[in-house]
């Protein structure tokens, strides 16, 4: 029979491999639901706030045009977010998420290989492609990787450098301006709290801005990178207007979770589409998936998207949850968790990076914020609170 120490070591190894594989096979994050077994470890005040959040989502769902479906979807989504927060509180320290870098490296190399195979010499002129990650997702994944590298205390310097260069290459070729702006804001916030290891992240982000600016003045064909210097909204003003109009038509409960897409006329064409790279090789949407074609269409702003889906009641519940988390981040005084929170909030101005389920990026946010809540004293189990 194995000793308790051996069993704990084996369990820790399995958890590390599970975390490492999540970016490659995102459904693995559903295992976080098991963390609900420790839900009662939250302190009374935390449980009260979580209950208010859950009730706000359910009440909003009851006021939608499709209350039956909306209540089920709202319950599933809210409980999943609470499970992710609990999983993060149980893990305790953001350094426990460093194995994500292994999976991210595979995702990044797949994106580079797929784009090189598809575009050939135009790889620097067209935005990066991946079989199932979007350009924006790749950009934000690159930013997440940069922050995780900053928390890597014991890693080989040259390995960290190679990981960093790979992450910044992905950010550059993804052409995601939101991810770059978010990384700069997050790095500044972390540095302000005393983490000087985030200086390379800040310098690298500024370097991408300088590179994009220089390329925009030259005749080099690198439009994907040049896009980082562009200040256009690329249609987001129309998406925001659509979401606002939906809110005005359904002010109290919105139209329901995952049901906003068909109302965003600037984005929704009524046709189910898979990722472009998959469609290029002949994979098309199966008939059974057509009815869900608008589920992942977003308003490109956290608050506007929530107002459209859940009205003022649900949006108030989410805002309360985020304000509480922001307070916990401030109270925990953990520079990397501060960087993650600020990065995602800035990204939320032009995207909805907190919407679950996702390709692990939203799940990463909620797990990291669960760590902040635990380190701020809202969880009764002991956690490792050493800042990275």
CA dist 185 and 173 (Å) reads 20
Query: Is residue 178, in this structure, part of any structural domain at all?
Result: yes
Which pLDDT band, with edges at 50, 70 and 90, does 233 fall under?
confident
Query: Is residue 242, in this structure, part of any structural domain at all?
Result: no
CB 126 within 8 A of CB 119: yes
CA dist 253 and 257 (Å) reads 10
236-250: average pLDDT: 96
Residue ending a domain, choose from 206, 229, 252? 229
Residues 6+ apart with CB under 8 A from 181: 346, 347
Q: What is the pLDDT of residues 267-322, one digit of tens each?
A: 876 667 666 666 666 777 777 777 677 888 999 999 999 999 999 999 999 999 99
Residue ending a domain, choose from 178, 204, 229? 229
pLDDT at 46 over 50: yes
Query: Is residue 280, in this structure, part of any structural domain at all?
Result: no
Average pLDDT, the chain: 89
Query: Is residue 238, in this structure, part of any structural domain at all?
Result: no
CB 145 within 8 A of CB 165: no
pLDDT at 387 over 50: no
Q: What is the pLDDT of residues 86-136, one digit of tens each?
A: 999 999 989 899 999 999 999 999 999 998 888 877 777 778 888 899 999
Residue ending a domain, choose from 229, 255, 288? 229
Same domain, 166 and 85: no
Q: Residue 76 burial (CB < 10 Å; 0-12/13-18/19+)? A: middle
Same domain, 152 and 73: no
Query: Is residue 187, in this structure, part of any structural domain at all?
Result: yes
Same domain, 220 and 142: yes
Query: Is residue 383, in this structure, part of any structural domain at all?
Result: no
pLDDT at 263 over 50: yes
- Could you tell me the residue range of the domain that residue 342 belongs to? 26-91+299-375
Domain count, the chain: 2
Report the first-to-last Cα separation within the chain, whole angstroms: 37
Same domain, 145 and 225: yes
Query: Is residue 293, in this structure, part of any structural domain at all?
Result: no
CA dist 5 and 278 (Å) reads 46
């Amino acid at each position: 029979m194995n000793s308790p120490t051996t069993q704990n070591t084996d369990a820790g190894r399995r958890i590390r491999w599970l975390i490492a594989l999540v970016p490659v096979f995102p459904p693995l994050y559903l295992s976080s639901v098991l963390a609900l077994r420790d839900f009662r470890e939250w302190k009374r005040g935390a449980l009260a706030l979580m209950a208010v959040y859950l009730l706000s989502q359910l009440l909003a769902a009851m006021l939608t045009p499709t209350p039956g479906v909306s209540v089920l979807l709202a319950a599933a989504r809210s409980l999943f977010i609470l499970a992710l927060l609990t999983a993060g509180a149980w893990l305790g320290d953001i350094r426990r998420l460093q194995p994500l870098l292994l999976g991210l490296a595979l995702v990044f190399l797949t994106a580079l290989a797929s784009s090189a195979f598809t575009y050939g010499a135009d790889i620097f002129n067209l935005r990066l492609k991946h079989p199932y990650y979007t350009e924006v997702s790749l950009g934000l994944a690159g930013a997440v990787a940069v922050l995780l590298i900053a928390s890597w205390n014991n890693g080989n310097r040259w390995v960290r450098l190679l990981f960093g260069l790979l992450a910044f290459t992905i950010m550059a070729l993804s052409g995601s301006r939101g991810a770059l702006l978010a990384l700069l804001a997050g790095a500044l916030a972390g540095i302000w709290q005393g983490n000087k290891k985030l200086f390379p992240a800040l310098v690298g982000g500024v370097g991408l801005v300088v590179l994009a600016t220089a390329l925009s003045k030259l005749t080099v064909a690198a439009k994907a990178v040049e896009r980082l210097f562009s200040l256009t909204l690329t249609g987001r003003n129309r998406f925001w207007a659509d979401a606002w109009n939906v809110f005005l038509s359904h002010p109290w409960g919105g139209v329901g979770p995952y049901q906003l897409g068909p109302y965003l006329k600037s984005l929704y064409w009524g046709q189910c589409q898979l990722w472009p790279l998959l469609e290029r090789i002949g994979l098309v949407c199966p008939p059974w998936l057509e009815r869900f074609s608008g589920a992942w269409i977003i308003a490109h702003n956290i608050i506007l998207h929530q107002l459209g889906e859940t009205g003022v009641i649900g949006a108030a519940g989410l805002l309360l949850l985020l304000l509480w988390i922001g307070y916990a981040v401030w109270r925990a005084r953990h520079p990397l968790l501060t960087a993650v929170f600020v990065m995602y909030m800035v990204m939320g101005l032009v995207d909805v990076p907190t919407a679950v389920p996702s390709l692990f990026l939203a799940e990463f946010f909620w797990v990291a914020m669960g760590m902040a809540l635990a380190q701020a004293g809202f969880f009764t189990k002991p956690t490792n609170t050493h800042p990275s």
